[in-house]
Amino acid sequence: MAKHNIPEVKADLENTTGIWGMAIDQDLCTGCQACVAACAMENNIAFVGETDAGYGRSLHWLRIEHAFEGEFPEVQTSGFQPVLCQQCGNAPCEPVCPVFASVHSQAQDLNLQVYNRCVGTRYCANNCPYVARVFNMRDYDRPEPLSNQLNPDVTVRRRGIMEKCTFCIQRIHKVEDQAKSEGREVLDGEMQPACAQACPADAIIFGRLDDPESRVSKLAKTGRGSQLFEDLGTLPRVTYLKEEKDYGRLG
Amino acid sequence: MTKLLEYLKKPGVQILLLIGFLTVISAGVWGFYQTQTSPEQPILFPHNIHVNFQIPCLYCHPGALRQASAGLPTEQKCWACHGQLKKYYQPPVPVEQWPPELQKLANYVKNSQPINWVPVYQVPDFVHFNHRPHIAASLNCETCHGDMSKKTVATVEETVNMGWCLKCHRAKTENNLQNNPNNDPAITTQLSEKRTKLLDCGTCHY
Amino acid sequence: MTEQLSRRDFLKLVGTGAASAAVLTGCGPASRYVTREPYTKMPEYTYNGQSTYYATTCRECAAGCGLVVRTMQGRAIKVEGNKYHPVNLGKTCARGQATLHSLYNPDRIQEPSSHVRGDRDFSTTDWDTATGIVAEALKNPAETAFLLGLAPDHLFDLVSDLCKAIGAPAPLRYGALSLFEARTTLGEASRIVFGKPDLLFFDLGNADVTFSFGANFLETWISPVAYTRGFAQMRRGTNRRGYLVQFEARMSQTAMKADEWAAILPGTEELVAAALGKLVAEQKFGSAPALFEAVDVAQAADAAGLPLETLERYATILAQAQNPLVIPGGAALGQSNGLEIAQVILSLNALLGNLGKPGGVYHSPASPLTNSYRRPASIKEISALIEKLNSGKIKTLIVHGVNPVFELPTSLGFEAALAKVPTVISLASFPDETAILADYVFPDHTGLESWGYQQVSAGTGQTLLSGAQPVVAPYYNTKSTTDVLLAAAAVAGGKAAAALPFKDEIEFIQGKLAGLVGAEGGFFNAADMPSFWAEFQQFGGWWKNDPSLGTPSAASALEKKLTPAAAQPEGDGEFHLLVFPSPILAEAGANKPWLQETPDPTTTVMWNSWLEMNPVTAEELGLTDDDVVRVSSAFGEVEVSVYKVPAIRPEVVAIPFGQGHTAYGRYAENRGANPGKLLGAQINAAGDLAFAGVKVKIEKTGKKRPLSRLEGRTRLEAAENKG
């Protein structure tokens, strides 16, 4: 494994599984952007317009990457890869925040962005190897009556605030609260973030990593799984299942 | 920068700065005070009368039992009782002779106009408060809202800020004699898990 | 002051003061201006502060997916899929998600209005006047024409009934997607080969080898969510992972997901399919049937630009497959010989023996309300309408659910014909190009505000009638077109009133549904109309539990003699032009800001259109990314920025359809280019436009217009971060 000039993984973190996790099957992902739109609608993400989007200021919490390789006619694609906050167990964004806006949730094992603490230093985004964080460069206009559509469960962010994927924590709370009021545990598959819920190919699977029987735990352990920049020691909670190209794969 | 320092040494400037500083502070204090006072309401709703009629809080604010927001009653609900009160209907008394606040209600209902209540207990947008777990943790309404049987219009009883929330969250999850009288290790673990959850930023801020 | 304190320092000082004031007061007083507005009368099932979910049908395209919309305090908050609905089983696409931006679009037409054609200032009228104007049109049935959207919904049924009763010409359904999917050609080929016109059901999910000729079924083709589900099922595979080979000149999003991309030259689909047929037949049965006999395999491979070995390898894969499937897509059928291409491909399926078998081709189930497949209008029929408009035979044109000025190729001259119609009534919700050129705009509710049902023509094996109900009260002073027509028919009297004796829209819909009450085998069974109606709304439609697919029979299809040939392209340019519907915007998404900001799946371009060009070609022409070029055909020209991409044949260029609006609200206007201006008028034997058979010239303009791309950001910033 390549050596990197980064902090050592804390020993006590290395063996943690995390609580919530996601598996993304790149063999099934068709790059259709349904997750991107669903995420924007659920999380009150502002649109920035053509010019700001061109400067890379668009506020996508989730983007789908791909690349072409080779020259015609030997062109291959790298496959579609939805990239979102990896909710690292050992997150590089957290130690650099001077105001503790980017903190680790002990209860949910997620990377939080506490909007009311954020002062917009953007250190966290600069330290994120996944470019998963986006910054509100302006107060983006949302002409009336578009604001009717805002989700009351999610804070509307203003200028100068860093934001990123939350694993739809508002839905986690809702599902947990529902389960608790009914005196039971959260069922596998009951909690679905907006992206997984919309995905027409069912390529995004969400669930509990600390439950070895959950669908996501089982998928993450198949031989096809890998994580983004695994060797950085960030302990991502998102596992990518690699694309299969060979004809006749069994099962 | 040296120019600035020299400039700052002038007494006039210092006084100006002091005035500016005081203005900022007092604006801040005023703003905070505003959140902790009771606003004017469209109708001076007498909570005491209703509570003393033995109407449970949850009859009009049923949301507290099952969801984030306690909810405000619809005019339909108000009128369900007020449209048939013995006092005004047997024999019928013209609306003009009703008490002024009830006349207001009658007009709202007649015109099918919504009553725009001003929220009393309020948290900023970036705080997501949920009534249900608080009621489920066997807190009473009056723990936070005060004794409504002694109040007309609702008032702010507590200093609603994060310190106040956390004070209670800490107290309820501390491993002490009150929460864990027999020092049961199972309860200790439970309390510690609860504490993690109740002190987590992500529990209220997202 | 300027002497002692620099402006910069002063600003610093002021800035600090303002910042601390903001910090100290920011959390405070604004909240005191907030009021809470409870319901006066709360709708049933609603709790204050708790979401209510309503099932309805997505109206963003004609596929008819079931939605469940989360509403809160009378506002629609989030669109989710209806998990019981047979088309999408709880899933949605990006366009479905953004349907809230139709409902709450800031540029909606808010009230009935009239205006001077071409003028953007509308003057308000009232609904009684509007009804009177429509009633006048109904009094002269022979001189009134209806042009409706692609979806076969309750309005289409109502207008069909009405036109039949009063003797007006039958309404035409059209949408740009029916053009780009060549639906008429597919239906006609099905009639010729299988004896029954139909938008066939291709059982992608159970196929182990799928060859797709330009069918972009992961993007917009017929029922993209249903076929994406099928694709995922195919990839998961019960026995082995399904294999997909995509034949098209440009690597579309669907081709990117294919295991192999066969970049054949546009117009050679018939040759390639016939050659595959011949090779497969020889491998499987020893000899080729009459249909494929005449083709010269080596010549076909040469014409298509494929190595012969590759073609033979494909044939072997197809011949050895257990459940092979070949799909004819829009880009393949939009050729001068599109009907022959469709026939060869359908016959190839017959040769492979997959008709009516798992992983094969089926007849779609008929709608529970009608027995026959009612296809949208072909370009030939639209041209006939345009001719009638030009000749002055039509005095009133009523347009609903479609924006023909934008969605029809400019070369057909619809805009000029519109000028010759004395009265044009648009029922659009948005000030689109057609509404701007109409005399009256009587806005219908948007999809999430209206009642209705939709007959689903393809995408599921189950008999299905998708139901729609309003999830929120109408936001503006709009009125359901069905109600307008019912009122107008009552005013017009006579046959019109007799044909539509309904009190309102709901009574009309219930009248149509009456036959389903008590029907066996449904997802729910209801004995009477009130309970049927309640469950129809609750579940978002009515469908049968078991599939009712038909088995096509192709008795003599393979015995016909055929001399396959390449298509005849139109125009004398040096590049083949491929116009494809934008996977994100499709025909009507351009006015939704979040769809504009959603990156295109292949190029990640946002908010604009582009010209896809192979880097080799670009180098020959001395062009690079973001250079603006003038693309011209015999019919028109557009200016568009170049996007270099290796995944396209060097002799082909491609432009997405969906941008280039001159009206249609602030997010769509004056953005990108409309490739509809380049399309020709060549019509294939089924009456569809040969849109993929146009050749264009490309000229440098010397201008540069940078495209906003998501990929630039990530590449640049990641590189900077790594230092």
Query: Concatenated DSSP letters for C184-199?
Result: HHHHHHHHHHHSS---
Q: Does A73 touch chain C (CB under 8 A)?
A: yes
Q: Give percent above pLDDT 90 in chain C.
A: 76
What are the residue ranges of CATH 2.40.40.20 in chain C? Answer: 575-718
Domains located in chain A, CATH noted? 17-241 (3.30.70.20)
pLDDT computed for residue C229 by the predictor? 94
Which of A116, A154, A169 is nearest residue B202 as measured by Cβ atoms? A169
Distance, CA of C267 to CA of C336 (rounded, Å): 8
Structure letter (DSSP) for residue C240: B
Subunits adjacent to chain A (3 or more Cβ pairs under 8 Å): B, C
| Angstroms from A218 CA to nearest CA on chain B | 26
> Which chain C residues have a beta carbon less than 8 Å from that of B117?
35-38
Which of B25, B70, B119 is nearest residue C34 as measured by Cβ atoms? B119
Task: Check if the beta carbon of residue A153 is closer than 8 Å to that of residue A170.
Answer: yes
Structure letter (DSSP) for residue C465: E
pLDDT computed for residue C519 by the predictor? 87
C465: which strand partners? C455, C542
Q: Do B20 and C6 touch (CB under 8 A)?
A: no
Distance, CA of A196 to CA of A175 (rounded, Å): 15
| Angstroms from B70 CA to nearest CA on chain C | 8
Dihedral sign of CA atoms C704, C705, C706, C707 in order: negative
Q: Does A183 touch chain B (CB under 8 A)?
A: no
Q: Do B126 and A155 touch (CB under 8 A)?
A: yes
| Angstroms from B25 CA to nearest CA on chain C | 7
pLDDT computed for residue A124 by the predictor? 95
Banded pLDDT at A78 (limits 50, 70, 90): confident
Q: CB neighbours of C468 closer than 8 A, spacing ≥ 6? A: C56, C57, C59, C153, C447, C450, C451, C452, C453, C454, C540
Q: Do A152 and C72 touch (CB under 8 A)?
A: yes
DSSP C241-294: --EEEEE-SB--HHHHHSSEEE-PPTT-HHHHHHHHHHHHHHHHHSS--HHHHT
pLDDT computed for residue A245 by the predictor? 66
Residue B156 has pLDDT above 90, yes or no: no
Subunits adjacent to chain C (3 or more Cβ pairs under 8 Å): A, B
Dihedral sign of CA atoms C471, C473, C478, C484 in order: positive
Q: Do C101 and A249 touch (CB under 8 A)?
A: no
Q: Does C132 touch chain A (CB under 8 A)?
A: no
Q: Does B7 touch chain C (CB under 8 A)?
A: yes
Task: Check if the beta carbon of residue C562 is closer than 8 Å to that of residue C274.
Answer: yes
| Angstroms from C5 CA to nearest CA on chain B | 6
| Angstroms from A146 CA to nearest CA on chain C | 5
Distance, CA of C179 to CA of C681 (rounded, Å): 12
Q: What is the mean pLDDT of chain C?
A: 89
Q: Rounded to the nearest 5°, which phi and psi values hold at C260?
A: -135, 140
Q: Do A107 and B197 touch (CB under 8 A)?
A: yes
Which of C57, C69, C52 is CA-nearest to residue C468?
C57
Distance, CA of C144 to CA of C141 (rounded, Å): 5
Taking only the tens place, the pLDDT of each residue in C239-260 is 788 999 999 999 999 999 999 9
Q: Do A155 and B196 touch (CB under 8 A)?
A: no
Q: Which of residues 17-56 of A touch C (CB under 8 A)?
A: 27-28, 30-34, 36-38, 40-42, 47-51, 53-56
CATH no., domain C53-103? 2.20.25.90
Tally A–B CB contacts below 8 A. 50
What are the residue ranges of CATH 3.40.50.740 in chain C? Answer: 116-177+375-384+392-539
What are the residue ranges of CATH 3.40.228.10 in chain C? Answer: 179-362
Q: Does A62 touch chain C (CB under 8 A)?
A: no
DSSP C629-680: EEEE-SS-EEEEEEEE-SSB-TTEEEEEES--BSSS-TTTBT-S--GGGT--
| Angstroms from A174 CA to nearest CA on chain C | 11
Taking only the tens place, the pLDDT of each residue in A127-170 is 999 999 999 999 998 998 999 999 999 999 999 999 999 999 99
Burial level of C123, CB count in 10 A (0-12/13-18/19+)? exposed
Identity of residue C158: L
Banded pLDDT at A197 (limits 50, 70, 90): very high
Give per-residue burial for C36-52: e unless 16+ CB within 10 Å, then b.
bebbbebeeebebbebb
Q: Which of residues 87-106 of C touch A (CB under 8 A)?
A: 88, 90-98, 100-101, 103-106
Q: What is the mean pLDDT of chain A?
A: 89
Banded pLDDT at C391 (limits 50, 70, 90): very high
Q: Token pair of C686, please? A: 């089924």
Query: 3-class DSSP state for residue C338?
Result: helix
Q: Which of A29, A36, A170 best probes binding to C when mutated, by most C CB atoms within 10 angstroms?
A: A36
Which of C580, C587, C570, C584 is CA-nearest to residue C408?
C587
CATH superfamily of C179-362: Dimethylsulfoxide Reductase, domain 2 (3.40.228.10)
Distance, CA of C414 to CA of A243 (rounded, Å): 47
Q: Tell me the CATH architecture of domain C116-177+375-384+392-539.
A: 3-Layer(aba) Sandwich (3.40)
Which stretch of A187-191, C33-37, C301-305 has the lowest confidence by average pLDDT?
Answer: C33-37
Taking only the tens place, the pLDDT of each residue in C114-153 is 999 988 888 999 999 999 999 999 999 999 999 999 999 9
Residue C21 has pLDDT above 50, yes or no: no
Distance, CA of C224 to CA of A197 (rounded, Å): 17
Banded pLDDT at B89 (limits 50, 70, 90): confident
Banded pLDDT at B158 (limits 50, 70, 90): confident
Q: Does A136 touch chain B (CB under 8 A)?
A: no
Which of B133, B196, B206 is nearest residue A107 as measured by Cβ atoms? B196
Q: Rounded to the nearest 5°, which phi and psi values hold at C269?
A: -60, -40
Region of residue C237 (phi > 0: left; psi between -120 and 50: alpha; otherwise: beta): left
pLDDT computed for residue B86 by the predictor? 84
ipTM over 0.85: yes
| Angstroms from C532 CA to nearest CA on chain B | 30
> Which chain B residues have a beta carbon less than 8 Å from that of A153?
128
Half-sphere exposure of C108 (CA within 13 A, CB side): 25
Q: Does B117 touch chain C (CB under 8 A)?
A: yes
pLDDT computed for residue C237 by the predictor? 82
Minimum Cα–Cα distance from C716: chain A residue: A56
C79: which strand partners? C69
Banded pLDDT at C184 (limits 50, 70, 90): very high
Burial level of B18, CB count in 10 A (0-12/13-18/19+)? exposed
Distance, CA of C645 to CA of C255 (rounded, Å): 14
Tally B–C CB contacts below 8 A. 113
> Which chain C residues have a beta carbon less than 8 Å from that of A51?
708
Q: How does strand C243-247 pair with strand C260-262?
A: parallel
Task: Check if the beta carbon of residue C367 is closer than 8 Å to that of residue C379.
Answer: no
Q: Does A126 touch chain C (CB under 8 A)?
A: yes
Helix (H) or strand (E) holding A104, with range, is strand A102-104
What are the residue ranges of CATH 2.20.25.90 in chain C? Answer: 53-103
Place of tokens 């409870």: C38
> Which chain A residues have a beta carbon less than 8 Å from that of C239?
250-251
> Which chain B residues have a beta carbon less than 8 Å from that of A181?
66, 132, 136
C172: which strand partners? C147
Q: Tell me the CATH architecture of domain C575-718.
A: Beta Barrel (2.40)
